[in-house]
Amino acid sequence: MIFKTTKKNTAPMLLVMALVISEFTVGDSMVTEGDLLVDIQRVNSVTHMDQTLPEAPASVTIIDRRMIDASPALDVVDLLRMVPGLQTYFVNANRPGVTYHTLGNSYPRRLEVKVDGRSVYESLFSSVEWTTLGVDLADIDHIEVVRGANAPADGSNAFLASINIITRSPLIDSGWNLRSEGGSNSIRNGSLSYAGAAGELNYRTRLSYRSNEGFDDFNNLILDDGAETITLSFKGLWTPSASNSLEIKFGASDSDIGVGKRDSFPRKLDYQYQHLQWDHLTEKGNKHQFIVYHNLLEITDYVEPLGFHEALAGLPDSPTKTALLQLPDKLIIDGESSGESERWDAEFRTLFTQWDDFRAVSGIGLRFDRVKSEDFFDSQDGISENSIRAYANFQWTASDRIVLNGGVISEHDDSEKFSSFRGASNFQLADNQTLRLAFNRGYRAPTLLESNQKTYIRYNEDMILDGSIVSDPHINPEQLKSSEIGYMGSFLNASLSIDLRIFNEKLRGVIGERREQYADIDGQINIRDNTESIDVQGAEWQAQYRPNNNFLVHANYSYVKSTGKRLWRSTPHVEYRDLEVNSPGHSAGLLVNYTTDDRLSLSTMINYKSGTRHPKGSQLDKYTRVDLKAAKKINLNNSNVELSFTVQNVGSDYFEFYEINAFKTQYVLGFEIGIP
């Protein structure tokens, strides 16, 4: 049978969905020749247990090192275009958005993103600041994307899906590495890293720099959305004994980017993190883990100051305007605003693997979140929240052909307590073919921004000129019920793999905004509340063909249909509206790579997306994007050198999120040298 495999974690090399074996038992293993030649891809992000893909209770896309090297991607978001159902787009040239299936707005929520298990989700924006990720493509070992709700492992923010970026071990490389990229749009990327050892501590440290000019100006509109980022990172692995290891990671970045739709303004992002993980392997084969990390993001926006009388000049004449003009002029919007988002998180986890047919993991975590922004919260004081979570996941091999998975998590913050769970049954239909039936019931707690926002423009403490967004005091967690049928097959001696997922997702109490009457200049205010209900159905598949080390084909396709209603207005009368189209319908991707025996690599990546309307974005037409890459590796005086040439978006321009964000053809030259 294919479910029982060794407990040792094998580094992912080839995307195979099942091990080609005629029989495999615990007491008397029978392994074919193919088993010895093919590494089995294993995932950890679904349950915190190492599992083969046919064992896992969810669909997973693995972007491994082979795919990363073959891809014409310049950043992590480009890599995610290879994942079916995942929407990737650029709100501004250096402010990406990533979501799964639906709700792709300017600050997409409901998607957990981690780096080595450390969450990079920021409560201040209820989203991910990808600019501060601090991960160079050369640092990535592989990426695990769980396509579907993953709360029993990652908590309530893994509402729709979760992404875990796993960086390379310091044990893999040694010596210096220098990378440089330059091209059109004033792209200037470079990094310098060193990997070495100091006693029992192996480490890698990297200093990187990235800059570009952003999207070109559109007609007479100036888009000043370029970026400049400097990042320093360190990863160390200390192994004082065979049963103990300690990973030490920290980093900092400084970014200057341009954001905004039509009136761009500069934003400064200062980010730092510290991350420790201790692993202890017991004599009986169980494992204890302790993880603690700290993130701190400081944000400063620089906008045009606005005076009181200047603001009134744009309003139509009225008795109210005349009366207000009698008040003394003063500054009502400062030229500089700041905010902070901080998180402390500690988790203790135990993995039980002592029984052959049953494995489990349980854990408890504590978290402290703090945010501060006078613009968002109408106060100079910070807002904080304490939360606790406890979870358990298990895998039971019920028979030679059936594996059962279950998971539950209970989360409790300062105001809410709720539980999410998942169940899945994996059936082996035939050798190397598995059918999965899975069900999820999940909740997502409101973030500190969603539950506490008060955005006003004031003349003074006693006079509100304009109310923008205010959170309802009784906002509730969002709810999700999802079910899926999954199929995985491995053919042609594991060189061809197929993954199919058919899904039905019901989202209730989705947090959005409704309009209400309000005693300010325009007489209206947006109330953040549980305003939307959305049903999502569809199907997606991915296939990969690797007949040998020279050839790679990865294809994906998804069809997503979402329907729903939103509470549009609550005063003076209740009004509901159908939700606008906010999923792309059809999307597809294809990566083809051929590498010659003398290490010349040629790649093509094609992405298609049908027309869509982004919430608070624009209605955009369908597009097909073609990227090309050629790379040559050379051994030079005991050093490894790589020269590359990448062309992104060969052909006509297409538009990202807004109708003014024209993505033009980009040409990039790359150079890399590794010195042992």
Does the pLDDT value for residue 140 go beyond 60? Answer: yes
Residue 235: which CATH number? 2.40.170.20
Averaged pLDDT, 513-524: 90
Q: Which candidate, 297, 292, 253, places its Cα nearest to that of 123?
A: 297
Q: Which candidate, 540, 545, 535, places its Cα nearest to that of 556?
A: 540
- Evaluate whether 296 touches 340 at the Cβ level (below 8 Å): yes
- Report d(CA 488, CA 424) in Å as an integer: 14
CA 340 to chain centre: 21
- Evaluate whether 262 touches 618 at the Cβ level (below 8 Å): no
- Report d(CA 233, CA 252) in Å as an integer: 7
592-641 pLDDT, tens digit each: 999 999 999 999 999 999 998 888 888 899 999 999 999 999 999 889 99
- Report d(CA 191, CA 208) in Å as an integer: 4
Averaged pLDDT, 420-444: 97
Does residue 446 lie within any of the structural domains?
A: yes
Longest Cα separation, the chain: 92
Residue by residue, DSSP assigns 42-64 as EE-TTTSS-EETTTSSSEEEEEE
Q: Which two tokens stand for residue 484?
A: 């899926």
Does the pLDDT value for residue 39 go beyond 60? Answer: no
Rg over CA atoms, the chain: 26
Query: For residue 651, is it left (φ>0), alpha (ψ between -120 and 50) or beta?
Result: left
Residue by residue, DSSP assigns 493-511 as TTTEEEEEEEEEEEEEEEE
Does residue 22 lie within any of the structural domains?
A: no
122 to 89, 237, 371: CA distances (angstroms): 19, 27, 9
Does the pLDDT value for residue 8 go beyond 50? Answer: no
pLDDT for 5: 38
- Report d(CA 449, CA 375) in Å as an integer: 11
- Evaluate whether 253 touches 229 at the Cβ level (below 8 Å): yes
648-662 pLDDT, tens digit each: 999 999 999 999 999
Averaged pLDDT, 83-101: 95
Does the pLDDT value for residue 26 go beyond 70? Answer: no
Averaged pLDDT, 567-592: 87
| Residue-number span of the structural domain to which 373 is assigned | 33-302+335-675
The 3-state secondary structure of 234-301, one letter per residue: EEEEEEEECCEEEEEEEEEEEEEEEECCCCCEEEEEEEEEEEEEEEEECCCCCEEEEEEEEEEEEEEE
Q: How many domains does the chain have?
A: 1
- Report d(CA 58, CA 42) in Å as an integer: 13
- Report d(CA 543, CA 197) in Å as an integer: 40
Does residue 321 lie within any of the structural domains?
A: no
User: Is the peptide bond between 584 and the residue preceding it cis, with omega within 30 degrees of 0?
Assistant: no
pLDDT for 580: 65
Q: Which two tokens stand for residue 406?
A: 């279950």
pLDDT for 336: 92
Does residue 189 lie within any of the structural domains?
A: yes
- Report d(CA 431, CA 429) in Å as an integer: 7
- Report d(CA 58, CA 145) in Å as an integer: 10
Q: Give SS3 for 127.
A: strand
Which of the pair, 614 or 481, is modelled with greater confidence?
A: 481
- Evaluate whether 78 touches 71 at the Cβ level (below 8 Å): yes
Q: How many angstroms separate the first and last alpha carbons of the chain?
A: 43
179-234 pLDDT, tens digit each: 999 999 999 999 999 999 998 999 999 999 999 999 999 988 999 999 999 999 99
Burial of 30 (0-12, 13-18, 19+ CB in 10 A): exposed
Does residue 25 lie within any of the structural domains?
A: no
Does residue 18 lie within any of the structural domains?
A: no
Does the pLDDT value for residue 578 go beyond 90? Answer: no
Does residue 158 lie within any of the structural domains?
A: yes
The per-residue pLDDT of the chain, averaged, comes to 91
Residue by residue, DSSP assigns 606-665 as EEEE--EE-TTS-EE--EEEEEEEEEEEEEETTEEEEEEEEEES-SS-EE-SSTT-EE--
Q: Which two tokens stand for residue 399?
A: 């028979």
Lowest mean pLDDT among 56-65, 291-300, 456-465: 456-465
Does residue 320 lie within any of the structural domains?
A: no
Averaged pLDDT, 529-545: 96
Lowest mean pLDDT among 21-35, 245-259, 368-382, 531-545: 21-35
Q: Give SS3 for 13.
A: coil
